[in-house]
Amino acid sequence: MYRNEQQRTIEGDLFTALVNVGAVSKANAADPKKSSFVRCARTDKGVHAAGNVVSLKMIVEDEDIIQKINAELSPQIRVWGYEVTSKSFSCYQMCDSRVYEYLMPSHCLVPPHPSTYLGKKIVELADKAGELDAVKTRQEEVASYWEEVDEKYIKPILETLPEDIRSIVEKSLYQDDSREALQPSEEKEASSATAEEPAQQETREQPVAEQSADAEAQKPFVMDPRQKAINDAIKSIKAAYLTAKRAYRAPASRIARLQECLNRYEGTKNFHNYTIQKTHKDPSAKRHIKSFKVNTTPIIINGTEWLSLKVHGQSFMMHQIRKMVAMATMVVRSGCHPDRITETYGPERIAIPKAPGLGLLLERPIFDAYNNKAQGLDRQPINFQKFEAEMNEFKQREIYDRIFREEEESAGYDTPINLPV
């Protein structure tokens, strides 16, 4: 197993704890390979794990060895227990499949605002393909969502603004390029640095002007009152859109549309579009998904509704689950037919974004084949059933609460700049 010497890892902290309590001899302390130390499953950076397995040659002389190991670890890392296995056991090689959970706010299923570039593009392409009526049918449960949001949350803010500022704010909210939402001609009109004559701009390039510019740079920046009013209004509207999204409650029909998309992943498929550096011809791009289910009963945390998605597969490639979640979510949001997911298994290269890593966690690895053999070897099966209560408490405290808290603080599931998208 590879240990990152420059950066702390869970495996590194665990191995150090094992050495400190005598579960690994001092002679083998410098190299985990000497103890056959290997993990069952890896996770992307920032991805949580509620249940994982490591295998090693372990020295057990104390009955309270688990308590001693945990005393050496941070509260974010817990060892639940250990089982004696056959000598040839390797958790990495013996693992049959893995179960991951993905948590996301239900407002991720809200369609793009009709005034945004994406909202307009969906209508344009659907109309061109003769699918506009079908798209509208797949969006029927959210057809009036943005109209109601604009009326309840946005209109009261806009009504308080002077006409000239209101027009600038409305246009800047739905710019095609969100990074340039405040850079069109409207902002130039509102800027305190009004348009200068070309001769003045050329003068700035002269050495004498550079000295003047340095002097100007030392003065404290004071924003033009009109520009400040525009910026404040946009911030208020973005906050209002975020509040509206967090108040969204997905109807059962919307969740059912998501499940219809997730069903398209089940079976053996070519997931070359769901990872990096793999082509359609690469045999390793084929992976088997046993099930992919969304819990039809959402949970409400701090006013935001969350959905739990669980995927059970033999193995997963880098970014695969996050891209699967993102693709299914985009299909639902855009009113696209779920068969669009099936098309991603073909040779065409399709760019699929990643859903945030914040919501993903490894729930548990599964060892069905080994457990069946273990019965005849007088060995205990490897599973997490006896630790379920402790694991649920740990998941709530160290994983779920952290996900909910970080999402509330950073709005990580929203488009960073143009919230109505």
Rounded Cα distance, 172 and 235, in Å: 12
Rounded Cα distance, 100 and 83, in Å: 23
Rounded Cα distance, 382 and 312, in Å: 17
Whether residue 224 lies in the annotated active site: no
Rounded Cα distance, 359 and 306, in Å: 10
**Phi, psi values for residue 9, rounded to 5°:** -130, 165
Rounded Cα distance, 360 and 42, in Å: 13
Of the listed 13, 44, 224, 232, which one is catalytic? Answer: 44
Query: Where in the sequence numbering do the catalytic residues fall?
Result: 44
